[in-house]
Amino acid sequence: MAETIGENGAAAGAMTLTPDNGKTPVALGAHGVTVRSLEELWRFSQVIAASDLAPKDYYKKPANVAVALEMGMELGLRPMQAIQSIAVINGRPSIYGDAMLALVQSSGLLDDIEEYVEGEGDSMTAVCITKRRGRSKPHRTEFSVADAKAAKLWDKDGPWKQYRRRMLQFRARGFNLRDVFPDVLRGMIAFEEARDAEAIDITPRSETATDQPMAAAKPATRSAGLAARVNSNKMPTPAAPEPAAEEMPTAEIVDEATGEIGATSADAGGAGLFD
């Protein structure tokens, strides 16, 4: 890879890296890489994705890098600033609280900002007050321990137990900057807020074999299929009635010696009928 310096490159500290394969050179300036086309964006994204310095959301994922770089350019972030400041949480891009404040400060729309935490223990409340240029009144946002408990954050493992005051401050700041400078942030949510949100499973439910109706077997031949359709349209043949149970013949049994009539043959179970 050869290095070529333009006419004004020496004064500005800029140079152009020209690859040996003849592709369009990628310009380097005093503030790093300058992306000028989609091809350059993709090539630079591949370099970042292959680096061990890439955050885990971007390592070996050049498409994610390219999207983050594009979002960073829309926000006004340099390429490497975008990689370090934009994080993907639950499938949604977010921006770190410090980078959010940096964007607002560099926009020229922030007249003043004041942040502090008042109270102690469960009475702590983080306060963020900002004044936007062109507006007569400042905007005040608070986030208290009671708010954190209501959102089920106060007893959450991690930063909320390790850096309680800092987390209250980030939450108050994020809400305030999003309310006052939505045009600067382009609707981006604070990383600290996105991380605390519960993930929602939007994976479609996979239907099992039992959920699907049983498909009819396909006839082996055309004639078999025709016969099956004809038979399906026929009226069902009524079942033949079952024959009635044959009754046992009855007869009176007369005692020859006395002339008395005894039990019938049915009562006697047929005994004496053919004696």
pLDDT in the model for residue 225: 57
- CA angle 18/12/105 to nearest 5° reads 110
Query: Please, what are the averages of pLDDT over each run of 10 residues along the chain (275 residues)?
Result: 39 46 66 82 92 89 91 89 87 87 94 96 96 96 96 92 94 95 91 76 49 53 56 58 57 56 49 43
> Residue 74: inside a domain, yes or no?
no
| Dihedral angle of Cα 35, 26, 43, 194, to the nearest 10 degrees | -30
pLDDT in the model for residue 46: 93
> Residue 207: inside a domain, yes or no?
no
pLDDT in the model for residue 262: 56
Q: Provide the number of structural domains found in the chain.
A: 2
Whole-angstrom Cα distance, residue 58 to residue 82?
Answer: 11
Whole-angstrom Cα distance, residue 151 to residue 193?
Answer: 11
Among the candidates 161, 186, 211, a domain finishes at 186
Q: Are residues 27 and 104 in the same domain?
A: no
> Residue 156: inside a domain, yes or no?
yes
Count Cβ atoms below 10 Å from residue 223 Cβ, excluding itself. Answer: 9
Burial (CB count within 10 angstroms: exposed 0-12, middle 13-18, buried 19+), residue 96: middle
> Residue 78: inside a domain, yes or no?
no
Domain limits for position 175:
100-186
Among the candidates 124, 158, 186, a domain finishes at 186
Among the candidates 167, 186, 205, a domain finishes at 186
